[in-house]
A = this chain, B = another copy of it.
Amino acid sequence: MYSIGQVSKMFNLPISTLRYYDKEGFFPYMERKGGIRVFTDKEIESIRVIECLKESGLEIKDIKLFFKWVGEGSSSYGKRKELFENRKKALEEELRKLSRIHAMLEFKCWYYETAVKDGNEDRINKMLPNSLPDDIQKLYDEAHK
């Protein structure tokens, strides 16, 4: 059992955010002792799920919906399964995008490393867009496809 302050430190989330999540209905079974919130492992796990769904790109209003389904019991297992499958697909798409972004960043690191060495961009510009060193060309092509 944890106080709101302990949970705040545990997840590095502001207390105000935890109270906001509570107001949104994300801790449907949380109890109070004399008006004060008591977080248990159930709520800790809920926070992990909230963070997970949020990072996967889901909006707060849809996370709300998920917790409504949880409240509906076993009849919503199917819906919940589908939600996670869709989130997994969406995250995988996002990861592919970020991989292209990463190639661009690596290319740019090489670009400016070379520019610093040369004092100008002339030599680089002569190599663009098709005569870059092999490994750099791969990054460039990945970033520009």
Chain A residues packing against B (C-beta within 8 Å): 48-49, 51-52, 55-56, 74, 77-78, 80-81, 84-85, 87-88, 91-92, 94-95, 97-98, 101-102, 104-106, 108-109, 111-113, 115-116, 119-121, 143-144
Report B-chain residues with C-beta under 8 Å of the C-beta of A144: 48
Chain B residues near A91 (CB, 8 Å)?
98, 101-102, 105
Given A77-B115, A81-B116, A112-B77, are A102 and B95 neighbors across the interface (CB < 8 Å)? yes
Q: B94 and A109: CB pair below 8 A? A: no
Q: Give me 13 other A-B pairs in contact (C-beta within 8 A), A49-B104, A88-B102, A98-B98 excluded.
A: A52-B104, A52-B105, A56-B101, A74-B115, A74-B120, A74-B121, A78-B112, A80-B112, A88-B106, A91-B98, A91-B101, A91-B105, A95-B95
